[in-house]
Structure 1
Amino acid sequence: MEIKATKNGDVLEVALSGRLDTNTPPDLKGYLRENLEGVASLAIDLADTQYVSSAGLRVFLFAHKELAKVGSGLTLRHPNEYIADVLDATGFTEILTVEQ
Structure 2
Amino acid sequence: MNIERLEIDGVSVAAPVGRVDSNTARELEATLVPLFDEAKAIAVDFERLTYISSAGLRVVLIAAKLSKAKNVPLALAGLSQPVREVFQISGFAKLFDIHERRADAVAALAKA
Q: What percentage of aligned pairs have identical amino acids? A: 29
Residue 12 of structure 2 aligns to a residue whose secondary structure is strand
The CA RMSD measured in Å over matched residues stands at 1.5
Deviation, structure 1 residue 12: 0.9
Structure 2 match to 1:34: 34
* Structure 1 unmatched runs, 5+: none
Residue 48 of structure 2 aligns to a residue whose secondary structure is strand
Q: How does 1:5-20 map to 2 (within 5 A)?
A: 5-8=5-8, 10-20=10-20
Greater helix share, structure number? 2
Letter in 2 for 1:83: V
Deviation, structure 1 residue 10: 5.0
Q: TM-score, normalised by structure 2?
A: 0.81
Alignment partners' CA distance in 1, 2:58 and 2:73: 16
Structure 1 match to 2:77: 77
Work out the number of aligned pairs and report it: 100
- Structure 1's consecutive aligned runs of 4 or more residues displaced over 3 angstroms after TM superposition are none
* Structure 2 unmatched runs, 5+: 101-112
Greater strand share, structure number? 1
Q: TM-score, normalised by structure 1?
A: 0.90
